[in-house]
A and B are shown apart, each in its own frame.
Chain A
Amino acid sequence: MLAFTIRRLSQSVIVLFVMSVIVFAGVFAIGNPVDILINPEADIAEQEETIRRLGLDKPMWAQYGVFMSNALQGDLGNSFVHNIPALEIIATRLPATLELAFLAVGFAIILGVPLGMYAGLKDDTFIGKAIMTGSILGFSLPTFWVGLIFIMLFSVSLGWLPASGRGETVDIFGVPVSFLTWDGFSHLFLPALNLALFKISLVIRLARSGTKEVLLQDYIKFARAKGLSNTRIVGVHVLKNILIPVITVLGLELGNVIAFAVVTETVFAWPGIGKLLIDSISNLDRPVVVAYLLMTVTMFILINFVVDILYSILDPRVRLEGSK
């Protein structure tokens, strides 16, 4: 376990370094922030002063050097637009996205696993087939369109749920959260469901194919020969075996949901980091974009690590080892 952790950490450092180079080169390709940031009315001296202050007068490799030495001290630079640390901006926006993402993944598990297992158990019934057809819709309908339809239906026509914003929030350890107030939760519900739709379909498919495969195994027949109840067989023997692929995929999807909730956040005007990324790209706010992407990479590394540990808990045959 220790050897595994150390090996993983050293791999992660390399990944982060390579990513930082790619991201840094990438933001240079988007455009020159000088064109947007500097007041065209300012005189040459003022313009040059600003460029020097932002460090944009140096060549790219030198800028990267400065960025790297600051980053190693935990400073990813100040936002060009807001002139406060990029990490601070992200940190203020992150809770909103995390809340959205976790609820979406929660929906995916709570709805996806039982529906998928049902479809796997009752493969040729009408409901079983209906679930599978529904999951195809969940896969193929574009998120933004479903979001708009949700707003049309639940906010505009029926007036049940609000269409935008976070609603009332409460502070927990200084972090504002929506889900603990009724108003906040009603704001959270639609975007979370919208974001979850694809994941629910994914989990349904995984759970169904897993269930169908596990049901054919000898150990299920043996469990039946032991006289166990159906509840026990499905709820313990089948469920524990299908959770392995579901956890793997959802782990990775959690990263995706956090990092790329852009569309849903835009449709529902949800003030999370997805919306921040879009705004920062259009303002050419390089430090925020770089900080955002590096944070995303770190998050994926962490999630993969947690998934590997969950594996070893779920499947006793998996042992975390330092070498192959």
Chain B
Amino acid sequence: MSSSSPTLQVENLQTQFFTKAGVVTAVDDVSFTVNRGEVLGLVGESGSGKTVTGFSILGLVDHPGKVTGGKILFNGEDLTTYSENQYRAIRGSRISMVFQDPMMTLNPVLRVDTQMVEAIRAHEKISKADALVRARDALGQVGIPSPDERLKSYPHQFSGGMRQRVAFAIALLNKPDLIIADEPTTALDVTIQAQILFETQKLCRETGTSLVWITHDLTVVAGLADNICVMYAGKVVETGKIDDVLDDPKHPYTEGLIGSVPSRNKRGQPLTQIPGMTPSLLNLPKGCPFQKRCQYAAPQCEVSPKITKCEDGRLVRCHRVEEAMAHA
């Protein structure tokens, strides 16, 4: 574990599902880097492969899916070469995950303390009493009032927001280097969402934990992330510093996404929207997958565009950027 290497470095990751209807490439040639203490916003529509990317990093892609290519370097070590046992040892201890629906992530028939203590004792030889103390502190840390009593509760006795805090507390229990949060605030109302965002950001700053925040909501990443990675149909279309990308999107899809955020439009004006729908991964159009919905589509888009590096260090997958860079 060298201190110089970034916490997470995903290189050309490819994850495929071998279904009866054919092979589906859910994640295709995805690369990004998360440094220590940094927050990466992974943005895309439903079905763009962002969740599968998260599960791929944790080695939790279920049958018939499989990571079929690329590298996942975590603290410099390639996780794709890990055995199931090695993977289990880092899951929940070095990398943890928070899920989208807080109503479903906690086991309904086990008490909160059971579910927290088991997460600690899966990775450390520690007495139950000591584990309980740590569980209580973790609940306090995420802002749950009277944690001692709440430890004895069952999940159904918590509200959705509280359950998501419990999920975060569980994710933080073993002081991981990386937390993957898969749309953790999507199911919550806005005020709770803001609280959780604020607290997560604070905790990550304090502990130096890196964060991959998966979402479809640009406004959430805008206030939270250092870097952003926009995915479309399993591919990264644009990735770079959050301010660069949001202020001056280079990929037409990113441009469309930003345009469809309500607050950016003038009052009374109709919202701009991206026409059409996300293509089915089972039969992607030839070439650029976005061409059918793209306002700049040209004959050259029949050929798959390559990732191009811009002068500000940002990576974009679009022929227009490719040409602009070639002429510059």
- Any chain A CB within 8 A of the CB of B219? no
**In the docked arrangement, what's the CA distance between A223 and B58, Å?**
12
Taking CB atoms, residues of chain B closer than 8 Å to A224 are: 60, 91
Residues of B58-93 whose CB lies within 8 A of A:
58, 60, 88-93
- Any chain A CB within 8 A of the CB of B113? no
Is there an interface contact between B96 and A314, defined as CB atoms closer than 8 Å?
no
Among the stretches A1-9, A93-101, A130-138, A228-236, the one at the interface with B is A228-236
Taking CB atoms, residues of chain A closer than 8 Å to B111 are: 316
- Given known pairs A219-B104, A225-B91, A227-B119, the reply for A240 and B99 (CB within 8 Å) is no
Shortest Cβ distance from B73 into chain A, in angstroms?
A: 20
Report the contact-size class of chain B (Cβ under 8 Å from the partner): 20 to 34
Is there an interface contact between B106 and A219, defined as CB atoms closer than 8 Å?
yes
- Given known pairs A222-B99, A227-B122, the reply for A241 and B92 (CB within 8 Å) is no
- Any chain A CB within 8 A of the CB of B134? no
Is there an interface contact between B97 and A241, defined as CB atoms closer than 8 Å?
no
Q: Select which of A221, A228, A232, A314 is within 8 A of B99 by beta carbon.
A: A221
A-B Cβ contacts below 8 A, count: 74
**In the docked arrangement, what's the CA distance between A238 and B54, Å?**
24
- Given known pairs A218-B101, A316-B156, A317-B156, the reply for A227 and B91 (CB within 8 Å) is yes
- Any chain B CB within 8 A of the CB of A140? no
Taking CB atoms, residues of chain A closer than 8 Å to B58 are: 225
Is there an interface contact between A222 and B106, defined as CB atoms closer than 8 Å?
yes
Is there an interface contact between A227 and B89, defined as CB atoms closer than 8 Å?
yes
Query: Interface size of A by Cβ–Cβ distance < 8 Å?
Result: 22
**In the docked arrangement, what's the CA distance between A221 and B98, Å?**
10
Taking CB atoms, residues of chain A closer than 8 Å to B223 are: none
Shortest Cβ distance from B175 into chain A, in angstroms?
A: 13
B95-117 vs A, CB cutoff 8 Å, 1 = contact: the mask equals: 01101010011111111000000
- Given known pairs A218-B101, A221-B99, the reply for A227 and B107 (CB within 8 Å) is no
Is there an interface contact between B119 and A314, defined as CB atoms closer than 8 Å?
no
Taking CB atoms, residues of chain B closer than 8 Å to A244 are: 109
Is there an interface contact between A236 and B110, defined as CB atoms closer than 8 Å?
yes
**In the docked arrangement, what's the CA distance between A223 and B110, Å?**
12
| B interface with A by C-beta (< 8 Å) | 58, 60, 88-93, 96-97, 99, 101, 104-111, 118-119, 122-123, 154, 156, 167, 170
10 closest A-B pairs (Cβ-Cβ)? A227-B92, A218-B104, A227-B91, A226-B92, A316-B154, A225-B97, A226-B119, A219-B107, A222-B105, A240-B109
